[in-house]
Amino acid sequence: MGFRSTSRLGGALLTVLLLTAGCGDDAPEAKDNPYAAEFRIARERATSDFEKKVLADSDITKAEFDEAVQRYVRCAKDRGVDITPIPVGGYYNYETVKTDNAEAVIAECRAGTIAVLEPLYVDRLMNPQKRDIFELQVECLKKSGVVPADYTVQQLKADKENQFAGAPFSPDDAKFSACMANPNLG
């Protein structure tokens, strides 16, 4: 009889372990999510309930990102600083009217809105598979017809180092700018 109850206890314990395997503190993460570690770090650094809610499912949608940007802009405006988000490559650059307290307001308003979310959103947007960014940019430049087919990553790095002086393209070319802003869209 002792054997049977041990066996049942062992079976019950095994069932509980199997049912709870994978359960833990972390939000659901796909095993093939190349940004799983970044999401864990972002959740640890999140300072607002809004950020925590957005990061809970290990995804940042365009709507969630846009809401974060709107919260950031509204926060700054409420403190007397005008920030205009300028769309570029699926994310935003910001134009700010400088005031005496602009830098402090920007830092204060980034926290809890875009400080944690924006870098992760932009990285995933530009490079969903987390490949070498220079490889992606060169592929985009080739596909867009900006550079010849034999142009290499090493050439792009050298051209960047030389501020594109002597590059086989103009850094003012809209296609070049698009590939640099987001090679995933080019």
Q: What is the pLDDT of residues 146-181, one digit of tens each?
A: 999 999 999 999 999 999 999 999 999 999 999 998
Instruction: Establish if 21 belongs to a structural domain.
Output: no
pLDDT at 30: 57
What is the domain count for the chain? Answer: 2
Instruction: Establish if 105 belongs to a structural domain.
Output: yes
Instruction: Establish if 18 belongs to a structural domain.
Output: no
CA distance 5 to 13: 12
Looking at the fold, whether 122 and 144 belong to one and the same domain comes out as: no
Q: Is the pLDDT of residue 109 over 60?
A: yes
Range of the domain at 155: 133-181
DSSP assignment of the chain equals -HHHHHHHHHHHHHHHHHHHTT-SSSPP--TT-TTHHHHHHHHHH--SHHHHHHHTTT---HHHHHHHHHHHHHHHHHTT--EEEEEETTEEEEEE---TTHHHHHHHHHTTTTTTHHHHHHHHHH-TT---HHHHHHHHHHHTTSS-TT--HHHHHHHHHTTTTT-SS-TT-HHHHHHHH-TTT-
Looking at the fold, whether 76 and 108 belong to one and the same domain comes out as: yes
Instruction: Establish if 101 belongs to a structural domain.
Output: yes
- Choice between 13 and 47, residue whose per-residue pLDDT is larger: 47
Looking at the fold, whether 66 and 103 belong to one and the same domain comes out as: yes
Final residue before a domain boundary, out of 81, 99, 126: 126
Q: Is the pLDDT of residue 38 over 70?
A: yes
- Region 20-28: mean pLDDT is 44
Looking at the fold, whether 114 and 143 belong to one and the same domain comes out as: no
Looking at the fold, whether 71 and 113 belong to one and the same domain comes out as: yes
Final residue before a domain boundary, out of 126, 150, 170: 126
- Region 59-80: mean pLDDT is 98
In our burial notation (b when 16+ CB lie closer than 10 A, e otherwise), range 22-40 reads eeeeeeeeeeebebeebbb
- Closest by CA to 57, choosing from 32, 34, 26, is 26
Looking at the fold, whether 122 and 104 belong to one and the same domain comes out as: yes
**Residues ≥6 apart with Cβ < 8 Å to 76:** 82, 83, 96, 105, 106, 109
pLDDT at 186: 65
**Residues ≥6 apart with Cβ < 8 Å to 72:** 83, 109, 110, 113, 114
Instruction: Establish if 100 belongs to a structural domain.
Output: yes
Q: pTM of the prediction? A: 0.73
Final residue before a domain boundary, out of 126, 144, 169: 126
Q: Is the pLDDT of residue 105 over 80?
A: yes
**Average pLDDT value over all residues in the chain:** 86
> Token digits for 168?
């086989």
pLDDT at 11: 36
Looking at the fold, whether 106 and 144 belong to one and the same domain comes out as: no
Q: Is the pLDDT of residue 7 over 90?
A: no
- Region 102-114: mean pLDDT is 97
pLDDT at 9: 33
